[in-house]
Amino acid sequence: MQNPRVLAALQERLDSVPHTPSSYIETLPKAVKRRINALKQLQVRCAHIEAKFYEEVHDLERKYAALYQPLFDKRREFITGDVEPTDAESEWHSENEEEEKLAGDMKNKVVITEKEAATAEEPNPKGIPEFWFTIFRNVDMLSELVQEYDEPILKHLQDIKVKFSDPGQPMSFVLEFHFEPNDYFTNSVLTKTYKMKSEPDKADPFSFEGPEIVDCDGCTIDWKKGKNVTVKTIKKKQKHKGRGTVRTITKQVPNESFFNFFNPLKASGDGESLDEDSEFTLASDFEIGHFFRERIVPRAVLYFTGEAIEDDDNFEEGEEGEEEELEGDEEGEDEDDAEINPKV
């Protein structure tokens, strides 16, 4: 490789082929390819170290989940009305506090009598009514799953918790949906378990980007008689082939409902691939589970007020703006090039 003639021939060969990564690699000498293979082995070892890193991150998540839980328990008490927050706990300084105070003072001076009467009559419901149901309505990803007949049930939802797998157990997390006694089912808690994997795929180790959800399990909902919204009863006419008589039969068929979330599609474990629709359904389910865990449960009050949704929208708009600006810069560069070299 130190021979100038060999290097020149190699350079000429490289210049004569299309400059795509794969075509470039194919032109390299065997000795260079051998070294590249050694780099790939190092990369696989890096991926396995990265997998261990994420396992320790999961352990940290479990540790800090225990620190968060007392705060989440108090959140539930405020939402359900079991505990009334103190004046100190209720104090919050908003960004528009001065404007609100000024407007409030002016209103007091003009209609103080009416305000006192309205305050006396103002309702004081227990806790924060329909807290979690409001979050479902505010978040598009969740509202798309909710049917009209699901709404009365979700109004009984009192809390959502995330539980991480115990040390030494396979990586997973459980979503717990806590309901107050209701007319629809006898369960006090509905669960959804998401199983995770944090190891490079043997067939494609370079695709590893951290833990991924690989499967999930739901739970059995003990519906009260006539209250199961995940099925509907239809009537169907059948004609007897011999006698020609017609009879009407009724049967239950699946019905769209948020509560199908607790009866998920199972990932194929026998090596057979799922069809495209099933893969999309499973991927959507995994995305929803991840969203509950990472966003909804930790920041519930901000999704209730809509502040977190506005932040998400602003972030997305910012990304789009950057892309548009980048495209504009690229166009500008082309114009500059054209001025420097009129032949272009």
CB 285: neighbour CB atoms within 10 A? 20
pLDDT band at 318 (very low <50, low <70, confident <90, very high): low
Tens digit of each residue's pLDDT (9 = 90 or more) over 104-151: 566 555 555 555 555 557 788 999 999 999 999 999 999 999 999 999
How do the domains of the chain map onto residue ranges?
Answer: 29-85+127-228+269-305
Q: Provide the CA 75 distance to its chain's centre, in angstroms.
A: 22
Among 179, 148, 174, residue whose Cα is nearest residue 163: 174
Average pLDDT over residues 78-91: 95
How are beta strands 231-239 and 212-217 bridged, if at all? unpaired
Among 159, 161, 162, 154, residue whose Cα is nearest residue 137: 154
Tens digit of each residue's pLDDT (9 = 90 or more) over 31-81: 998 999 999 999 999 999 999 998 899 899 999 999 999 999 999 999 999
pLDDT at 335: 42
Longest dimension (CA), the chain: 100
Angle at 192 between CA 188 and CA 194, to 5 degrees: 155
Given CA atoms 213, 219, 225, 231 in this order, what sign does their dihedral have? positive
Considering only residues 77 and 212, tell me which one the structure prediction assigns the higher pLDDT: 77
**29-85+127-228+269-305, which class in CATH?**
alpha beta
pLDDT at 321: 54
Both tokens assigned to 123 = 């309702």
Q: Is the pLDDT assigned to residue 304 strictly greater than 90?
A: yes
Q: Provide the CA 24 distance to its chain's centre, in angstroms.
A: 40
pLDDT at 124: 87
Rounded to an integer, what distance in angstroms lies between the CA atom of residue 182 and that of residue 224? Answer: 10
Give me the percent of the chain exceeding a pLDDT of 70. Answer: 76
